[in-house]
Structure 1
Amino acid sequence: MAKRGFFAELNYQAQQAEKRRRQQEAQAVRARSSAVREHERSLKAAERARATAARASDAQRKAAEKEAARLHVEARTAEVEAMNNDLASSYEDIDGLLAWTLGTDDYVDLESLKVTAEHPPFDPGTLGTPIPPVSELVDPPEPTYEEPPAPKGLAGAFGGKKKHDAALAAAQAEHQRQIEHWTITKAKKHADLVAARVVREKNEVNRLMKFAESQAAYEAECAQRDAEAMAQNEQLTKFINDLAFDVEYAIEDYVGIVLSNSVYPDVFPVEHDHSFDLASRELTLQVAIPEPSTVPSVKEYRYVKAKDEITASPLTAKAQKDRYTAAVHQVAVRTLHEVFEADRAGKIHSVALTVGVNRVAPATGQPEYVPLVMVAADRETFNSFDLANVVPSATLDHLGAAVSKSPFDLTPANTSRGVRQRGQ
């Protein structure tokens, strides 16, 4: 059996990512459902009631406790409703496995797989911000000389001149000291300014160099992404040409892409393996489905107030077997449909399909694959069916399929008659 090719694997991973996104959205929608909202509201109300009861008088406390108990029951009831909604959704998904694909065109436009490199915006961080220039120097004001006033009147006549001369000398000396200090301070500020400008210019040059390096690294990364996208697109172009000219690997890989697009619900995961023979133009396809024990078996959940617990009532054995059997048949018909619908060019003339379960053999303890449906179908016959109106089990019988008598019990399909009884 073939492994997924390069583009099938890329597509598979993209589909898985999209599947996870849809699941998250679905979970968010369910979280917003009325049952869940009511559950959350009731829980909060019950908590408030319990808090009120703790603060209240005996009579108030009893009333609050009664209200808290009522709200607790509401919360548990809402929880059960949410669980039953999820359960119903799971069963709806299983019962509609074939319908899931009928509204979707399974053809894959390979040109749509071509990619364009996506580049994040260039973000140099702090390197993109120029270092601010050093502020211009503002010189301190030059000291002014203020001469002491000359003595007047009698003060000047009795020794005033001598005191004035002394004051004058002191004032001149002080002014001279201030001038010298101002000159030194001014010179130092000018020297500091020159030094700061030198440092700033050095840091700015360093920033510009690192900015250029960062930009060059970003452009190199962009070029690398562009080159990888171009190489992938060239490889895809070759793949498209090989498919057009019936190169075997290309047909096989295209089927891998188609099957990777076949998204099943989480509750019923499916895996595919396949190989293609160009000489016979037959696709051999093996499908692995979940074991019956992994499929939900609960009929409904209910809240038992007396025990304050949620219990589950099981589906009847018949209901479990009927649902699982129907799912097996739907997977078989769905897989044939997806392959033939996707192969517009008619590269595949027939499909030999096996649907089964991987398990550990109870007798040997070794892994084994249990076939539950084995069927061969040719394109012309299968494409004549109106799948919107078929019963899958009847379709398989019409195709002469070998079908397990009890898929739920993992009874292998009986292939003693072969699987090409009709339309050989």
Structure 2
Amino acid sequence: MRVEEIPPFDPGPLAWPVRMPDPSQYQAQGGWTANRRAQAQAEARARFEYDWQAAQAAEAQRQQQLAAAQRDYEQRAEAQRAEVRRHNAAITEATAGVRRGDADSVVEFFSAALYSSATWPEGFPRQVSAAFDSAARQLVLDWELPGYDVVPEAKSVRYVPAQDQDKETARPVTQRRALYREVLAQSVLLVLHQLFAADEYGILDSVALNGFVDAPDPATGRQAQIFLATVMAQRAAFRDLHLEQVDAISCLTDALRGQLATRPDQLTSVRPSRRPQDVGNQVVTHGGGHEEPDLYDMDPIVFESLVADLFRAMGMQAVMTQRSNDGGVDVDALDPTPIRGGKIVVQVKRYRNTVPPTAVRDLYGTVQDVGANKGVLVTTSGFGPGSHTFARGKPLELISGSELVDLLHRHGLRGRLGEGGRPGPAQPAPSGPATPPGDYNVLGMTWSGNVSLDVCALVCHGNRVLSEDHFVFFNNPQTPDGSVRAVPISAPDKAAIRVAFDALPESADRFVLVAAVDPEVNPDADLSGFTDACIRLLDPSMTELGRLEVSDGRRGETALVLGSFRHRQSGDWDFVLGGKGYTGGLEQLVQDYGIEVE
């Protein structure tokens, strides 16, 4: 249940009346003659009356603004109270239904308990179909279990600096199979534990649980639910278990007399003793791909409401704004967390194309105008380098479509992007072309001073970057073809970029290196401490081939072009010293290369 805790109205500076002028401060000055004294008195009285009228007008304006702020507060407070009442009424009704043993209420209650569980491992599926047998006081459910790929093929990974590669050690097949069976057994026990722990009203005498995976049926090749575990657990028997000390497989198959597939890696199935559809009541399903609403097709107001629900699920207070006068804000949120919390303004963009940097800049203006602690821009699409560059070092957070879907699922809400349904686990970045050892160089950057810098690269034609994806920086660690990428550093370098010059796009004739002050680490720093800098040219074995001197930084500048490699007709790439500095940081620099920031 939520509490109607509405912060009191805070008028801020509007609470203080405008100070009226003091007549004693308007005494006539000077005047040796009666006429001059009369004139001085008239001038003093005129000044007083002018200031009095100005103060009265300012006070009237203050009172109008105060009344408007009070009305706005009351509207927002009432909307928040109404939302809390609706939520609490729904909880009260659902709780009453559970206590009565109403089948639909019981199923919804326990399904929600599983679907929103914080102990179910992140990344594991959350799909449930359930029904409640009121006569037997038994909950019957099918619950999705993780697939075989949850156990990695690699036993360990070791980074080899000389080759700039991760070297994997394979996990023995028998060990992987055994671990997968263990994971399945532990998952079943965890679900049973969560259900009985959530049953504070003593509704359940037993649970019939069937664990399945969504996979191609080995017999037909069609996608199907293949059951790998099943158990019918009595509350009394489960309560007597000491789960922290049991062997999961033995507990499931022996103590609880359940079944677990002998070769779940090969999708050998077990036969469930009872399915939800065997119960007479209607089966309720949550979490299946067909139930995921498509965020692209969602009504804008419904989408904004979903984002507000997400913020509330994350422990914040959140209300939708009045659309007629929202000032560019779709959701007002309040994070009650001490120190890092405060007022948050949220803008929602249901886009299919990349959000332009102007939207990020507008949000920053709104944050400043309303005095918010933070601004959050939520979209169904994504953001380009210009947006990330502008947002860096500012109280802004950019949430892309894939991040939004992940947050929704982690907090018990639903949503997908397009026909793909619920997205799978994030895939690793492409490794780029398989270049022989002699086909790339590592450019290691060294400099004196303690200033923290971001070293970035732009793949250009002339003085224009080929695309935003060809700007390699902190939020885009490599180009689409992998020909340029940021790599781990080794002493004495403070930054390193790998480039395969022969693999650069045909249209590229310049490869530009730049450096900029990191505003999050050194917000007040400039490049005056950037001295004795050079680029170390290294081969794939990290042997130094030569050094390229670059210009020192200058006071007041926060970004600098270190230099560029230029493609000559002979096929060689020659280095040309840079030196152009910028007082507006990386944001100003990249605009010179055609990246939109504002």
TM-score range, shorter chain: 0.5 to 0.7
Which residue does 1:297 correspond to in 2?
153
Q: Which runs of 5+ in 1 are unaligned?
A: 1-113, 145-178
Cα distance change, pair 306–228 in 1 and its aligned pair in 2 (3 A): closer
User: Paired residue for 1:222, among 73, 77, 86?
Assistant: 77
The answer as to 2:390 corresponding to 1:390 is no
Matches within 5 A, 1:147-186: 183-184=38-39, 186=41
- Relative to its length, the structure with more strand (as a share) is 2
SS at match of 2:74: helix
Which residue does 1:45 correspond to in 2?
none
Q: Percent identity?
A: 26
Cα distance change, pair 341–131 in 1 and its aligned pair in 2 (3 A): closer
The answer as to 2:178 corresponding to 1:322 is yes
Which residue does 1:131 correspond to in 2?
18
Which residue does 1:87 correspond to in 2?
none
Cα distance change, pair 367–207 in 1 and its aligned pair in 2 (3 A): farther
What is the CA–CA distance in structure 1 between the aligned matches of 2:218 and 2:10, rounded to whole Å?
60
Which residue does 1:140 correspond to in 2?
29
Equivalent position amino acid for 2:101 in 1: D
What is the CA–CA distance in structure 1 between the aligned matches of 2:82 and 2:57, rounded to whole Å?
37
Can you list the C-alpha shifts for 1:15-35, whole angstroms capped at 9, x where unaligned? xxxxxxxxxxxxxxxxxxxxx
Matches within 5 A, 1:347-366: 347-359=203-215
Compute the displacement of 1:255 (Å).
1.3
Compute the displacement of 1:254 (Å).
2.9
What is the CA–CA distance in structure 1 between the aligned matches of 2:49 and 2:81, rounded to whole Å?
47
Cα distance change, pair 341–216 in 1 and its aligned pair in 2 (3 A): closer
Which residue does 1:241 correspond to in 2?
96
Cα distance change, pair 263–272 in 1 and its aligned pair in 2 (3 A): farther
Matches within 5 A, 1:189-338: 189-259=44-114, 260-261=116-117, 263-266=119-122, 268=124, 270-304=126-160, 306-338=162-194
Please say which of residues 279-288 and 321-330 is displaced more in the overlay.
Answer: 279-288
The answer as to 2:237 corresponding to 1:376 is no
Paired residues of 1:374 and 1:413 also in contact (CA < 8 A): no
Can you list the C-alpha shifts for 1:36-65, whole angstroms capped at 9, x where unaligned? xxxxxxxxxxxxxxxxxxxxxxxxxxxxxx
SS at match of 2:26: coil
Compute the displacement of 1:200 (Å).
1.6
Compute the displacement of 1:267 (Å).
5.6
Paired residues of 2:227 and 2:270 also in contact (CA < 8 A): no
Equivalent position amino acid for 1:250 in 2: S
* C-alpha RMSD of matched pairs (Å): 3.1
Paired residues of 2:103 and 2:131 also in contact (CA < 8 A): no
Equivalent position amino acid for 1:406 in 2: R
What is the CA–CA distance in structure 2 between the aligned matches of 1:200 and 1:366, rounded to whole Å?
80
Equivalent position amino acid for 1:131 in 2: V
SS at match of 2:187: helix
What is the CA–CA distance in structure 1 between the aligned matches of 2:200 and 2:29, rounded to whole Å?
89
What is the CA–CA distance in structure 2 between the aligned matches of 1:187 and 1:360, rounded to whole Å?
98
Equivalent position amino acid for 1:405 in 2: T
What is the CA–CA distance in structure 2 between the aligned matches of 1:224 and 1:305, rounded to whole Å?
58
What is the CA–CA distance in structure 2 between the aligned matches of 1:282 and 1:370, rounded to whole Å?
23
Equivalent position amino acid for 1:137 in 2: Y
What is the CA–CA distance in structure 1 between the aligned matches of 2:67 and 2:218, rounded to whole Å?
67
Equivalent position amino acid for 1:277 in 2: D
Paired residues of 1:270 and 1:290 also in contact (CA < 8 A): no
Compute the displacement of 1:213 (Å).
2.8
Cα distance change, pair 372–134 in 1 and its aligned pair in 2 (3 A): same
Equivalent position amino acid for 2:59 in 1: E
Paired residues of 2:26 and 2:47 also in contact (CA < 8 A): no
What is the CA–CA distance in structure 2 between the aligned matches of 1:276 and 1:318, rounded to whole Å?
39
Paired residues of 1:134 and 1:196 also in contact (CA < 8 A): yes
What is the CA–CA distance in structure 1 between the aligned matches of 2:202 and 2:17, rounded to whole Å?
64
Paired residues of 1:325 and 1:407 also in contact (CA < 8 A): yes
SS at match of 2:101: coil
Cα distance change, pair 120–261 in 1 and its aligned pair in 2 (3 A): same
SS at match of 1:131: coil
Matches within 5 A, 1:36-75: none
SS at match of 1:339: helix
Equivalent position amino acid for 1:248 in 2: A
Compute the displacement of 1:315 (Å).
1.3
Which residue does 2:263 correspond to in 1?
406
Compute the displacement of 1:360 (Å).
5.8
TM-score by length of 1: 0.55
Compute the displacement of 1:362 (Å).
8.3
Cα distance change, pair 305–250 in 1 and its aligned pair in 2 (3 A): closer
Cα distance change, pair 324–124 in 1 and its aligned pair in 2 (3 A): same
Paired residues of 1:373 and 1:402 also in contact (CA < 8 A): yes
Equivalent position amino acid for 1:316 in 2: P
What is the CA–CA distance in structure 2 between the aligned matches of 1:364 and 1:337, rounded to whole Å?
35
Cα distance change, pair 296–192 in 1 and its aligned pair in 2 (3 A): same
- Relative to its length, the structure with more helix (as a share) is 1
Q: Which runs of 5+ in 2 are unaligned?
A: 275-598
Can you list the C-alpha shifts for 1:349-384, whole angstroms capped at 9, x where unaligned? 332211122246689886432221122233344444
Indicate the structure (1 or 2) with the bigger Cα radius of gyration.
1
Cα distance change, pair 395–212 in 1 and its aligned pair in 2 (3 A): same
What is the CA–CA distance in structure 2 between the aligned matches of 1:200 and 1:282, rounded to whole Å?
75
Paired residues of 2:160 and 2:166 also in contact (CA < 8 A): yes
Compute the displacement of 1:257 (Å).
4.2
Cα distance change, pair 364–120 in 1 and its aligned pair in 2 (3 A): farther
What is the CA–CA distance in structure 2 between the aligned matches of 1:401 and 1:273, rounded to whole Å?
19
Paired residues of 2:151 and 2:179 also in contact (CA < 8 A): no
Paired residues of 2:180 and 2:265 also in contact (CA < 8 A): yes
